[in-house]
Chain A
Amino acid sequence: MSEIDLETARKVAHLARIAVPEDKLPALAQELSDILNFMEQLNEVNIEGVEPMTSVTPMRLKRRPDGVTDGGMQDRILANAPDAREGFFAVPKVVE
């Protein structure tokens, strides 16, 4: 169906939020194309009237009351953060 061109590879990398240097884009585009070509086999299958699978086991999900079940552990949640300050996760400036 579709061959992945450089522009598409660049766009996919950006959508995935993965920095890919310009000189690596051709190889990436080729790899993605090869994998997608492998997937093209799926076009041989007659899927007329077939429902897409949403759950592999026919089970109704359990319900529970919509209430707070946990919390009050700010320090434990921040303990693994690369940069935590004054009880918050710190990131580069987002709004000018």
Chain B
Amino acid sequence: MELFTNQVLAGIATGAIYACMALAVVMIYQAIDHLNFAQGEMAMFSTFISWQLMQWGIPYWAAFIVTLALSFVAGIAIERILFKPLAKAPVLTNVAGFIALFAIINSSAGLIWDFTIKQYPTPFGSAPFLGSQLISTHQAGMIGVTVLLLLGLYFFFQYTRIGLAMRAAASVPESARLVGINTSWMIALGWGMATAIGAIAGMLIAPVVFLEPNMMGGVLIYGFAAAVLGGLTSPFGAVVGGFLVGIFENLAGTYIPGVGNELKLPIALALIISVLVVKPAGLFGRHIVKRV
């Protein structure tokens, strides 16, 4: 039983990261109807920036905040410069654009910071949390930061004018424009926030997977799996999906014989495909009806 509790808690901790990645993916998907294949690389690059700031002697939390601000601005810049002109282009062109962004970011990170694996500090330490053997302080910290983030986002979208405007722009762009919302900038804002959320995920997971240009590959696939499970049209679903996928991954690794770390990615693949086949709209997504 202790093993079970332990694995569920560990699953919630990694699930928090998947939830952040899934949320970032869903925010951009809602704004522009495309999956951002470069989301993981963007998060990786942000994490490298925070590492660089710490190398220059800036304390952890200051570096954390500065990185969030930089990521936010970078996300807006990427949307304005690269993807706004592609808004009316066919899906294929957009996929090509995301793939190009993926390649550029991955290889620039390698050029600037090298492909060697680096240690990344944790502000929480790795001692057992509150003296129990079930969970480490870093894992508890991951969960704590994510919960704070989610609460913050919830209040932002429910109780601020700009949050309301963003929701309107995503769900009925035409009418939102008519009531005077600048939908184009709402999309850019969504990109900025998604990039910042991804940066948080990257900085929290970096002590676990270590810092290197390919660190987010697996995390992104699990983020996608989470987003698909929760429904690509539902931010709430993405978060729930993230936690579920994290728990599932840990339990499968513990209890199904032959499934270890080496089958991590195939499990995510199987999960994505089975959800898409059984329930393409996901747990909380809405069905899209196509006009003939």
User: Do A and B come from the same complex?
Assistant: no
